[in-house]
Amino acid sequence: MSWKETAEPVLSRMPNVARPEGHVPFRRKLGWTAGVLVLYFFLTNVFLYGLGAGSEDAFGQFRSILAGGQGTILQLGIGPIVTASIVLQLLGGADLLGLDTNDPRDQVLYQGLQKLLVVVMICLTGLPMVFAGSFLPASQQVATNLGVSLGVVKWLMFAQIFIGGVLILFMDEVISKWGVGSGIGLFIIAGISQRLIGGFFSTPFLGNQTGFFYGWYQIITGQADLGPVLQPSGLQGLLIGPGQLLFLVTTVLIFVVVVYAESVRVEIPLSHARVKGARGRFPVKLIYASVLPMILVRALQANIQFLGRILNAQWQGMPGWLGTYQNTASGAVPVDGLFYYLAPIYSFQDWMWFAGFTSAEPWQVLIRIAIDLTFMVLGGAVFAIFWVETTGMGPESTAKQIQNSGMQIPGFRQSPGVIEKVLERYIPQVTVIGGALVGLLAVMANMLGTIGQVSGTGLLLTVSITYKLYEEIAEEQLMEMHPMMRQMFGGGS
């Protein structure tokens, strides 16, 4: 008996959101999307009952791309979903699962296995946050008021985190089946947009950091003394101080580069085999796999750093070569050892040793930059390949989709094998180049800094997901106006 036959009774009975029967009107899709988004914002403001003072964010700088809210019911954000996807992609890439995603039975097993892994990851991530270190300390006052021990309060907090992790899983599924886009993408946009808007408009009365516009108000009115502009101190104040000109340039540059890269494509001509004159094009974009594989790379880095912080909190005699940590306002951060070199560059303060922002030696900083760059470029390319193969965007799956739609490549025989050979000239190469390019852009944006310190990866994700969401909305409106096109693209009646 294979593992599929053994696990099928459990995996096939995993709860799921029912698919809509027939076509869902565009307005109803927008309604479901807006409703889930409102619920997401509400849950990120519902703080854990029993949480004490002095909590620190276990995800640190990765919080912006993992969504959720520190100390809230959505403490884990999309982390468990992304981690489960990494495990599944690695198992699928090594062909250890033996699942054919084109088979309806295997599709059910795959989705059930993914949900089971998400539940496991919720437990593996949530339990250390509550019971290890000072990530989420329990409140002694709550324990006294309830007449229970601190251990009971911790289990109560974990139960809330578990419920939040399951809720965000099904919220993502609701949007994928009933809404527009994907829930994961929508939650990332929501979190990054909040920080980005705050980076522009925040004031000392509304937030802890000075926003871009308020900083320039201080410069113009003379409240911020930059000194001579041509001197290093004045130039530093304009670029990375209250002026934040470097952050603004980086933010705009990332926006322009991503939008341009989304428009760069190789278009393969298509013609309908039976309808004379019906022609089309299949676009192979430069960022063919999208920037979503970057979430997988950053989530892997986040889990490595999370492991280091747990070891630092629980292992009093941890060797220095493994990691040396220093307590800061945002929690313990590695300043030497293996976990320091594996930590990504978060901002300009992590590498500008010549400006006095870090006390690390130049050779240490250069090694850290090299490792981060290698990790992101190679990881971006590898996970982009996995993403294309597991989401049905590879040459074989795409060739079958083109064949089933009745289209063919002019001048070639109408056969999935022939179409696949043509697609193999472009898709694998473009996938690797696009994944590596996105990884390079993410590292460079982190090194230079962005408005609101949303991280380069977060800004890349936001711009790309928003662009694709715009394309999907335009496609939905087009098919709403022309129902025949919906039938051609398999959208139902």
**pLDDT (0 to 100) of residue 488:** 47
pTM of the model: 0.77
Residue 250 in this model has a pLDDT that exceeds 70: yes
Where is average pLDDT lowest: 202-211, 340-349, 378-387, 435-444? 202-211
Q: What is the C-alpha separation between 3 and 311, in angstroms, rounded? A: 34
Domain boundaries, the chain: 3-13+26-179, 246-493
Residue 1 in this model has a pLDDT that exceeds 70: no
Tens digit of pLDDT for each residue in 139-179? 889 899 888 988 899 999 999 999 999 999 999 999 988 88
More confident residue, 110 or 364: 364
Average pLDDT over residues 229-253: 78
Q: How confident is the prediction for the chain on average, in pLDDT? A: 82
Question: Comparing 3-13+26-179 with 246-493, is the CATH topology the same?
Answer: yes
> In CATH, what is the architecture of 3-13+26-179?
Orthogonal Bundle (1.10)
Average pLDDT over residues 243-256: 87
Percent of the chain with pLDDT over 70: 89
Where is average pLDDT lowest: 234-243, 434-443, 452-461? 234-243
**pLDDT (0 to 100) of residue 159:** 94
Residue 185 in this model has a pLDDT that exceeds 90: no
Tens digit of pLDDT for each residue in 285-303? 888 877 777 888 888 888 8
Tens digit of pLDDT for each residue in 11-43? 888 888 888 887 788 888 889 999 999 999 899
The CATH number that domain 246-493 falls under is: 1.10.3370.10
**pLDDT (0 to 100) of residue 36:** 92
**pLDDT (0 to 100) of residue 35:** 93
**pLDDT (0 to 100) of residue 489:** 47
Residue 485 in this model has a pLDDT that exceeds 60: no
